[in-house]
Chains A and B, each alone.
Chain A
């Protein structure tokens, strides 16, 4: 430990160290890290503690590993033997999926309605979230609560009425129908998340911009949106995600043309129930999009799930 650190802690902290800590006039970064190093040396549980996340993550990865493992096996091998790694790895299952439009169009359909939904949700939620974070108006609290109830509504309640509503408009089996239906829970989600991020931007910025002569649209697009760019990204990610994982409504509203991959999978299970390899490959492929984007939002996942309120 250097002399400087010693002086720093020595002069102030000696008589009432506790008080100093409570005031959070910090011990310098160096002494804090030194403290941690000492703790690590003294604390034998340090290694044991790391076991918990490792075991937990193993528990999480094991079923996924089994799925991926299966997707590289032939059906014979799946049904006959029991092996931790494929004895004769094959890409046949993936070839089946990428060679057959009725399979790979499922992914295309899913991505089309998910992206449509994401764009609609975030673009209508942006102005609304701004209104909620900046203004009080007649019925604002009721409205905010009503939005939340839609996020919390069980999709099972809406499955049948959705089917009838979209039949009446002739929208069954179109991508836009699923995209609009998923707005039920994604618009409220986007409003809540964006409101959380927007409330972190000081109001003085708005006022200064207006004084400088910015009109509302110009201010909103030129100044405000760049400030909450990460919030927009997180909201878009969560809309993407919840639309991607939902099946009940998507399946109810589609027949063939817009059928999501998730629904195509269930059909295969019930009909043939035999082609385990292809089923596993299809499942493994649905994990990919989430796994790719998750890296970018890893620090905001908790905030998104808590509707922008952590």
Chain B
């Protein structure tokens, strides 16, 4: 669509600007302020320069949390993306069952995040939880409170439970936009099921899949509430991801300087990822316009 150039459009954007400035820019400036100062209490601050940043960037604690978080995001993507595609492919295309599937699948997405944590905390307990008791009943030594590996498995399965539907729903939206004629052509060509997937469905899902990957990566990169409720970051520090570590530092220990510096580093990583996301998103919009135009 050709847009007219008109700077008065700024007036329409102004309310958003004011509100987001109040809830984003001012807090962020506070963070910047803390990140370059140190205090001995009593609200007396003095200049600390880039000390906190060097501290954080060289601290083993930050590295560990970052690596843990990257591994977590990697595992999450490796499970949720293929599973989501599989479910989307197997979903019915027409009829009442579509609505039933959509609604039931979306259910976990709408549960408050700490309730998700509570559900799994209870579900995985060996004494009163269905999952925990079943696993223990099979003779497997399972205890997510004490064993780091079990804690990881629990957190990963919980995230798969919580967010795979997002991938499935996005892929499904991509799949139903493929016109029937493509499948008919493939049938006439005698294409195998695999070829249909590889040459028709996968390319058509490509864009939504990219969005799904980016969304899942970012959200798992800033996960806080669910693992915090289930494991509290433990046992030890084994499930302490970046956000959990940050809140521990800022609110728990009240180390404002290091916490602020860590916030900014964290935010810069997110900013970089957002830029990738933005490029993808705007290209999706750009590609879509001529395509729908051609169909009309």
Interface residues in chain A, defined as those with a beta carbon under 8 Å from any beta carbon in chain B: 17-18, 21-22, 24, 26-27, 32, 35, 39, 49-53, 56-57, 59-64, 66-67, 70, 78-79, 82, 120, 123-125, 127-128, 130-138, 140, 143-145, 147-150, 152-162, 164-165, 180-181, 183-184, 187-188, 191, 196, 199, 203, 241, 244-248, 252, 261-263, 265-266, 269, 276, 279-280, 283, 286-287, 290-291, 294-295, 298-299, 301-303, 305-307, 309-310
Size of the B side of the interface (Cβ < 8 Å), in residues, is 108
Q: Which residues of A contact B140 (CB under 8 A)?
A: none
Q: Closest residue to A73 on the B side, CB-wise?
A: B128
Q: Which residues of B contact A248 (CB under 8 A)?
A: 224-225, 247
Specify which of A27, A62, A159, A276 is in contact with B130 (CB 8 Å cutoff).
Answer: A62
Minimum C-beta distance from B288 to chain A (A): 8
Specify which of A18, A184, A269 is in contact with B188 (CB 8 Å cutoff).
Answer: A18
Q: Closest residue to A60 on the B side, CB-wise?
A: B108
Q: Closest residue to B279 on the A side, CB-wise?
A: A145
Q: Which residues of A contact B22 (CB under 8 A)?
A: 180
A53 CA / B105 CA spacing, docked (Å) = 9
A157 CA / B262 CA spacing, docked (Å) = 9
Specify which of A63, A130, A134, A161 is in contact with B31 (CB 8 Å cutoff).
Answer: A161
Decide yes or no whether B48 CB sits under 8 A from chain A.
Answer: no
The 3 closest A-B pairs by CB, nearest first: A290-B110, A161-B27, A154-B222
Minimum C-beta distance from A110 to chain B (A): 9
Q: Which residues of B contact A17 (CB under 8 A)?
A: 188
Interface residues in chain B, defined as those with a beta carbon under 8 Å from any beta carbon in chain A: 1-10, 12-13, 15-17, 19-20, 22-24, 26-28, 30-31, 83, 86-87, 90-92, 99, 101-115, 118-120, 122-123, 127-131, 133, 161, 164-166, 168-170, 172-174, 179-181, 184-185, 187-189, 208, 211-212, 215, 218, 221-222, 224-225, 229, 242-244, 246-247, 250-251, 256, 259, 263, 266-267, 270-271, 273-275, 277-278, 281, 284-285
Q: Which residues of A contact B168 (CB under 8 A)?
A: 56
Q: Which residues of B contact A266 (CB under 8 A)?
A: 114, 229
Most buried by B among A132, A140, A153: A153
